[in-house]
Structure 1
Amino acid sequence: MTGSAEEEQVNTVSDDAAALDAAANGGSGTPTSGTPANGAAANGAAASGGPTTGGPATGGPTTGNPATGDPATGGRAPAEARTPGAAGAAEAGGGAGRLIGVGLGPGDPSLMTVRAVEAIAEADVVAYHSARHGRSIARSIAARHLRADHVEEALVYPVTTESTDHPGGYRGALEDFYAEASARLAAHLDAGRTVAVLAEGDPFFYGSYMHMHKRLAHRYPTEVVPGVTSVSAAAARLGTPLSEAEEALTVLPGTLPEEELTARLASSDAVAVMKLGRTFPKVRRALERSGRLAEARYVERATMEGERTGRVADVDPDSVPYFSVAVLPSKVGATARERGEDAPGEVVVVGTGPAGPLWLTPETRGALATADDVVGYTTYLDRVPRRDGQRRHGSDNRVEAERAEFALELARRGRRVAVVSGGDPGVFAMATAVLEAAEQDAYADVPVRVLPGVTAANAAAARVGAPLGHDYAVLSLSDRLKPWEVIAGRLRAAAAADLVLALYNPGSRSRTWQVGKAREVLLEHRAPDTPVVVARDVGGDGERIRTVPLAELDPDQVDMRTLLLIGSSQTRTFRGADGSARVWTPRRYPEV
């Protein structure tokens, strides 16, 4: 399987050599069949203990002509006639050899492509990475296709668990290795030889070959032969689709920081996590924290001897080799057991932010991706991407209590339910309605989580600058759930305290007078030229943001999709470089 343990210490991509790093320390259970008895020869001679699984007596492959390097494929153009890489073609000398990065697939030699076998047959030199013990997984996969007259170059990697006295530390030792290895290959290429660099999996998918490619491809004609990746092999071994329909597949290295892993796991559809081994405990914690452990599947040494599959939750962390992958497969058409639905149901209340998908937090995106049912006001549901197999329950904006109980009832039956609000679900939104219903004895055993979202006040403030940079109050002008006298009293108190105000629900078709009344109350305490931000449909197609003096605030320009930000006595404005109004409130307040 492709991946890199090396990145636990440095941010450098590697594959085969890092895998052998794990093998050198007893972690990967590296297969040894087909490897040289005394390690691969680095001086150009084939190792004395050649493969025991080779082809004909001569060691030559049965699919090509060793004498000429031309594949016996019935009409395929000779390799020399193929178009080299653009950079290599421009700069290669007339006598230069060819560089071929050969993807070998995930481990089973029978999964090598026809072109990979041909490329090895065409090569004069076969290079592969190994640790100091001399065993190379890449060589073992290709062993049956190696000839006695192949010059073998073992590129012996410094491994992460070794100590080094290099003045640049491990990173410096690694850079020296890349320079030395590429120089060795360049000497063969300059002599006109074709060099095949073997890469487990795919050369450009976390492969060690990439480091040679970056140093040599601009100097020599180059070809890269793709291979079957470990991710594809893992999905095949699980017997389940990896991603389907509009699902996005995310591939993560297990070497990422735990917080980053958790966030990406929470926000993704289908996922493959590579580079396990020593990183497995961290990856398992991230899966648990993201709420996705129940659906995570484990594949060890896919297509290799000792292959094992199962649930990540059941795996002993001490037994995990480097050659393993954690998979969160497609949810489209999956059975309840495949989706991990032996876990209890729950309700997650999420906020979509003020507009479309760009405003979703990773945590909310993940909750929506893993929900069986999505419940909410139809307008807000339209902001949520549709997913095959997921049930959507839209309703009118005036039935919040009924919507909350419906969601809890679904969860009580074992469903995972996302209740959708606009903005932040805890700010004048559905979180309160759900928790009020959840207080009933009937739903005492139903878990309820609330995930934060970008609220309209913060979104509108960001559009104009920082009007909420100091103390501020948030009020709703809707008198449907509280009398106007209470609203007016709170407006006076906030205005008298010289707080910036964020006013939600300022008006609607049936509530047309509240904005005018609020302006009157505020003018009792604020100067007529106090800046007011009138923000409508922030983030939407109809976004319009204006800054006007308080005395000129026009109620006819305000509706339910509008939010008002009323400045304090300290709030300032100026024209930005683009000509738009910039509004900000200093964090310092004058001494009283």
Structure 2
Amino acid sequence: MSGTSTGRLYGVGLGPGDPSLMTVRAVEVIAEADVIAYHSARHGRSIARSIAARHIRPDHIEEALVYPVTTETTDHPGGYRGALEEFYEEAAARLAVHLDAGRTVAVLAEGDPLFYGSYMHMHKRLADRYPTEVVPGVTSVSGAAARLGVPLVEAEEVLTILPGTLPEEELTARLASTDAAVVMKLGRTFPKVRRALERSGRLNEARYVERATMEGERTGALAEVAADSVPYFSVAVLPSRIGATAPEPPVDAVPGRGEVVVVGTGPAGPLWLTPESKGALAGADDLVGYTTYLDRVPVRAGQRRHGSDNRVESERAEFALELARRGRRVAVVSGGDPGVFAMATAVLEAAALPEYAEVPVRVLPGVTAANAAAAAAGAPLGHDYATISLSDRLKPWEVVAERLRAAAGADLVLALYNPGSRSRTWQVGKARELLLEHRAPDTPVVVARDVGGPEQSVRVVRLAELEPGEVDMRTLLLVGSSQTRTVRRGDGTTVAWTPRRYPEAP
């Protein structure tokens, strides 16, 4: 900061629009200021000034900072961004003249000065040069929630604030994965925001607030709002889901509501979930799954959780479909990718029964254990590979052995699922014997255990030295081809990869 002879800069938050929602401190600062500055469009009207009008005196020096453009159409050589940057520099220079003359400058800002506010552009250019104070204000988010009269977030819920100017895909992903949300900057972005809400399955929850706390305020269900009637000063609100879950439906079916979504949670916790999967889990009335996988999903008020043993997949699938037939929104929780040795097959098989023919079923992909293990080890699946389960619980070992020989003979990298358990201890040793008939003893094998979990362990060993006793159900094996390579890195780790270019045949 410079010496005390300069003036003081204030960023003054005015709240969402109702002058009575200005803070006492905001009123005090305006009263003490020599210069009142505010942004406005080219028509000259300033919402910020109108909110504070009763506190602006005739002896105040007023600085109207008029935007040169209000849309992204401009002939400025630097484009829209260039025009704004030039404007902010010129506006800051105008305010600096007053500050250098020892005058106190109050820059008015709707809502909060540092929350999507124009003041922040002055702050970044002046706050390091002059004594500065920011007076916080009630945000439009808080104002909108208050006018709707609904809780915005409760307990451990997450609130996401989004500008409607984001790409539609980004909006959709973020709306699907969060609990509560507010989308700002509607106006021309409204059609895109509405599509994103619909694609994320959240449209029926969405509320609309226009000019919260101001004259001309309008609230209602967003789905009923006409796109051509939406101004810039409006927001979309997805309020708290707690207490909003639908009550238990009657035994008779509720047409069009019930569905089953099979959700892949990836190999471990929330970091491996896709936004779409997060949204499906959050929006479900019931969660059905193997208890170990259900434990990965956060507990939500109003949701029912139905855990079961890992060996009752068919029963679990029919139970989920029956709930959906009664009108419940059901998420079947599956580890990894639900279509890879997991629950999607069981659900679709049960859904083929005549009594469930009308129940909607969706499958959401997840990160597979093979891909997660490969990433942790480097890129051993960089070329053609085969995925085989070593479990002989659902198919004879003879079939497993035949497929191992065929894949090994074709020189494919192998991803071996379900290699062993407390009741299956010999399969890994037998698989090693079969593979050594086709692979060199020093073929790299990635032994990946609990990938993504707290006990993650990823090692690369020689095929001849693969120890069956170190393999359990939480382990996945990646057996290299004749082309798979390894290198020891500077940090002491061994990285494996399979080149994409295959040697030419002799």
> 2: CA distance between counterparts of 1:324 and 1:249?
18
Which residue is equivalent to 1:4?
A: none
Which residue is equivalent to 1:155?
A: 65
Does residue 512 (structure 1) correspond to residue 422 (structure 2)? The answer is no
> 1: CA distance between counterparts of 2:241 and 2:256?
15
Amino acid at match of 2:313: E
Amino acid at match of 1:140: S
**Matching of residues 350-499 of structure 1 within 5 Å:** 350-499=263-412
> 2: CA distance between counterparts of 1:525 and 1:107?
76
Offset from partner CA, 1:537-583 (integer Å, 9 cap, x none): 11112211221111111111111111010111111111012111111
> 1: CA distance between counterparts of 2:278 and 2:407?
36
Which residue is equivalent to 2:501?
A: 588
Which of 199, 204, 229 is matched with 2:139 structurally? 229
Which of 141, 144, 148 is matched with 1:238 structurally? 148
CA-CA distance at 1:335 after TM superposition: 5.6
Does residue 304 (structure 1) correspond to residue 214 (structure 2)? The answer is yes
SS at match of 1:459: helix
> 1: CA distance between counterparts of 2:420 and 2:77?
68
SS at match of 1:182: helix
CA-CA distance at 1:166 after TM superposition: 2.5
Distance change in 2, residues 1:467/1:372 (3 Å): same
Amino acid at match of 1:448: V
> 1: CA distance between counterparts of 2:270 and 2:178?
13
Structure 1 stretch 389-398 or stretch 474-483: which is displaced more? 389-398
Which of 329, 342, 357 is matched with 2:239 structurally? 329
> 2: CA distance between counterparts of 1:411 and 1:419?
11
SS at match of 1:251: strand
Amino acid at match of 1:327: V
Unaligned residue ranges in structure 1 (runs of 5+):
1-90
Distance change in 2, residues 1:162/1:375 (3 Å): closer
Amino acid at match of 1:556: G
Which of 248, 266, 279 is matched with 2:176 structurally? 266
Which residue is equivalent to 1:183?
A: 93
- Checking the alignment, whether the CA contact within 8 Å between 1:336 and 1:342 is kept in structure 2 is no
- Alignment coverage as a number of residue pairs: 499
Amino acid at match of 1:172: G
Which of 473, 476, 480 is matched with 1:560 structurally? 473
Which residue is equivalent to 2:43?
A: 133
Does residue 213 (structure 1) correspond to residue 118 (structure 2)? The answer is no
Offset from partner CA, 1:206-225 (integer Å, 9 cap, x none): 00000001111111111111
Which residue is equivalent to 2:82?
A: 172
**TM-score w.r.t. length of structure 1:** 0.83
CA-CA distance at 1:342 after TM superposition: 9.6
- Checking the alignment, whether the CA contact within 8 Å between 2:69 and 2:83 is kept in structure 1 is no
Amino acid at match of 1:99: L
Distance change in 2, residues 1:164/1:591 (3 Å): closer
SS at match of 1:502: strand
Structure 1 stretch 249-258 or stretch 175-184: which is displaced more? 175-184
Distance change in 2, residues 1:247/1:163 (3 Å): closer
SS at match of 2:405: helix
Does residue 277 (structure 1) correspond to residue 187 (structure 2)? The answer is yes
SS at match of 1:235: helix
Which of 134, 156, 159 is matched with 1:249 structurally? 159
> 1: CA distance between counterparts of 2:22 and 2:255?
39
Offset from partner CA, 1:232-271 (integer Å, 9 cap, x none): 1111111110010000100000000111111111111100
Which residue is equivalent to 2:250?
A: none
Unaligned residue ranges in structure 2 (runs of 5+):
248-253
Does residue 198 (structure 1) correspond to residue 198 (structure 2)? The answer is no
> 2: CA distance between counterparts of 1:158 and 1:442?
64
CA-CA distance at 1:190 after TM superposition: 1.1
Amino acid at match of 1:447: P
SS at match of 1:93: coil
**Matching of residues 60-71 of structure 1 within 5 Å:** none
SS at match of 1:175: helix
**TM-score w.r.t. length of structure 2:** 0.96
Which of 518, 531, 540 is matched with 2:444 structurally? 531
> 1: CA distance between counterparts of 2:382 and 2:4?
67
CA-CA distance at 1:427 after TM superposition: 0.5
Distance change in 2, residues 1:542/1:554 (3 Å): same
Which residue is equivalent to 1:117?
A: 27
